Structure 1
Amino acid sequence: MKASKVAYGRAETLDDVFGLMDEAGERARILAGGQSLVAALNLRLDEDVALIDINRIQELSGIADRDDALRIGALTRHVDLGASTLIAEHAPLLHQAVPLIAHAAIRCRGTIGGSLANADPAAELAACVVALDAEIVATSRAGERRIPASRFFTGLFDTALRPGELISAIIVRKAEPGERQRILELARRSGDFAIVGLAGVRRGQSTRLAYFGAGDTPILATNAMKALDAGATLDAAVAALSNDLDPPSDANGSARYRMHLAAVLLRRMVAELSSGSHVGMAA
């Protein structure tokens, strides 16, 4: 099956994007890497659309050092995240996540902004930005607004983006000395979406744990986090997961199976975050 006919416009500037979005209305679809969008079009899950190609807008690409944070352009490819020394040193969680994303061909075309906008609940980068307490920069004609990553994902393939907005960048605070970041996932085969995954950050005396593949959005395990930060036993933190997660059953596994895997990953994550690994060390 191939896509039905679509309209296409190429933007050279952000002003071009907003003009094309105004013209297309609800039919507008932003084309960055296209790794999810084009597949959906080919399956005719989305029809009668107007594609707006943003690949030539230079200001949406690249990774910039902004004192205590990194500003990652929405058009930054997965492969560039993996190759960046700034990411490896200051946001190693993102660096570790790249080899887990699908396959090499997809990593060469897929973008971080496209991944976040698609809001697939099993996607690694979505959970990473939640664990890192990053901010999503949404841009429209009215300017920029920053959305905490923990509030950006609102439902299955749904986000807090408003009509007329697109993701322009992601702001990630630099890791502190001694901070540890780790991502773990369990998948049937290399390149498959995770059955369950977990992104973890240990910053000072605080722990952030973001599960993916365990619900309609990336999920902060707030009760397990509180238990760990309060010095509770690992068993108590695992028990607290029952108040954090209510995973679905599907062809990849039952809800009970996913809860078991979530507990396994939590135990592994605590061990990883408690090790002496350097903050910039990739998986």
Structure 2
Amino acid sequence: MYSTTYHRPSSVDEAAALFAKGKEAKYLAGGHTLIPVMKQRLASPSDVIDLARIKDLVGIEASGDTLTIKAATPHYDVATSADVQKAIPALAHLASVIGDPAVRHRGTIGGSIANNDPAADYPAALLALGATVKTNKRSIAADDFFKGLFATALDDGEIITAVSFPIPAKAGYAKFPHPASRFALTGVFVARSRSGDVRAAATGASSGGVMRVGAIEAALKANWTASALDNIRIPASGLMSDIHGTADYRANLIKVMAQRAVTQAG
């Protein structure tokens, strides 16, 4: 057995101060990663600092050309938000297909991207939409935030406070879910900005985590239709291969999911 001290701070500053005092402190968002690893004795934090009750970390704001989702906002709130459904319908759809109802009511966008699971949904949206991750210390572009499997640009003790998304002209997300976990065996988010720039990101496929897919971006910039992707070939090199699917299988899924995402985007 081991002991841990549970904290429920009321502000980001209080949470950061508690982290600094702890010998081996951990932040708790939705808890879908930290709690299981603690149960398995793979983590034994001296202090668990619950961020979910900090009011300044919950909420959704649409202003001008930007949609901002605060870090402790649950997936369910994103999926059902009228602001999200109007500004970026693909993001509302993405949130609606995360896990199961229990996960969607408890899990948060901040917890998801801070953990950066290679099969998580949100990282693909951040990368494809060119989002900005805001913390209690700075702002980090999505292109600079994700650093590989379970790795991000966050410093020790840094707290994600919000994610800011530029509102695109069109966007879509499609994934092939694992039948048990509902994680993305492969998922693709595509977006076309109001200036005509096209970005596409795949999750669940690469051994290095979420990635942009240049071949899809080039084809869709020339012709924003699902059929524009008919003849592209996604290399299997660098993609994951496991009991759920080979690298070649995932390469084909990237193409198929991208076509479905474009169709969804319209």
TM-score normalised by length of structure 2: 0.90
The letter of the residue matching 2:90 is: L
Question: Which among 251, 261, 264 is matched to residue 269 of structure 1?
Answer: 261
Aligned length: 261
Secondary structure of the 2:86 match is helix
Distance 1:15 1:93, change over 3 A: same
Q: How big is each residue's C-alpha offset from its partner over 1:82-116, in whole Å with a ceiling of 9 and x where there is no partner?
A: 11111111122220012211100111111111111
Using the TM superposition, name which of 11-20 and 74-83 deviates more: 11-20
Q: Which residue of 1 aligns with 2:161?
A: 168
Give, in whole Å, the separation in 2 of the partners of 1:133 and 1:60. 21
Give, in whole Å, the separation in 2 of the partners of 1:120 and 1:8. 25
Work out whether residues 26 and 45 of structure 2, in 8 Å CA contact, stay in contact via their aligned partners in 1. Answer: no
Q: Which residue of 2 aligns with 1:279?
A: none
CA apart distance, 1:254: 1.2
Give, in whole Å, the separation in 1 of the partners of 2:120 and 2:150. 11
**Structure 1 residue 20 and structure 2 residue 18: aligned?**
yes
Give, in whole Å, the separation in 2 of the partners of 1:146 and 1:163. 15
Q: Which residue of 1 aligns with 2:209?
A: 217
Q: How big is each residue's C-alpha offset from its partner over 1:139-193, in whole Å with a ceiling of 9 and x where there is no partner?
A: 1xxxx31111122110111110012311001111223xxx221111112427521
Distance 1:231 1:103, change over 3 A: closer
**Structure 1 residue 70 and structure 2 residue 63: aligned?**
no
CA apart distance, 1:7: 2.4
Distance 1:235 1:171, change over 3 A: same
Work out whether residues 136 and 146 of structure 1, in 8 Å CA contact, stay in contact via their aligned partners in 2. Answer: yes
Q: Which residue of 1 aligns with 2:6?
A: 8
Q: How big is each residue's C-alpha offset from its partner over 1:43-68, in whole Å with a ceiling of 9 and x where there is no partner?
A: 22212442111222111111123332
Work out whether residues 93 and 182 of structure 1, in 8 Å CA contact, stay in contact via their aligned partners in 2. Answer: yes
**Structure 1 residue 200 and structure 2 residue 197: aligned?**
no
The letter of the residue matching 2:57 is: L
Question: Which among 28, 31, 45 is matched to residue 31 of structure 1?
Answer: 28
Work out whether residues 201 and 208 of structure 1, in 8 Å CA contact, stay in contact via their aligned partners in 2. Answer: yes
Using the TM superposition, name which of 254-263 and 81-90 deviates more: 254-263
Question: Which among 113, 120, 130 is matched to residue 123 of structure 1?
Answer: 120
**Structure 1 residue 157 and structure 2 residue 147: aligned?**
no
Counting aligned pairs with the same residue, the percent is: 33
Q: Which residue of 2 aligns with 1:111?
A: 108
Give, in whole Å, the separation in 2 of the partners of 1:103 and 1:85. 21
The letter of the residue matching 2:167 is: K
Work out whether residues 100 and 191 of structure 1, in 8 Å CA contact, stay in contact via their aligned partners in 2. Answer: no
**Structure 1 residue 186 and structure 2 residue 176: aligned?**
yes
CA apart distance, 1:235: 4.2
CA apart distance, 1:70: 2.0
The letter of the residue matching 2:246 is: S
Q: Which residue of 1 aligns with 2:249?
A: 257
Question: Which among 242, 245, 249 is matched to residue 235 of structure 2?
Answer: 242
Distance 1:146 1:154, change over 3 A: same
TM-score normalised by length of structure 1: 0.85
Structure 2: where are the runs of 5+ without partners?
Answer: none
Q: Which residue of 2 aligns with 1:281?
A: none
Structure 1: where are the runs of 5+ without partners?
Answer: 276-283
Secondary structure of the 2:260 match is helix
Work out whether residues 175 and 186 of structure 2, in 8 Å CA contact, stay in contact via their aligned partners in 1. Answer: yes
Work out whether residues 7 and 50 of structure 1, in 8 Å CA contact, stay in contact via their aligned partners in 2. Answer: yes
Give, in whole Å, the separation in 2 of the partners of 1:6 and 1:94. 36
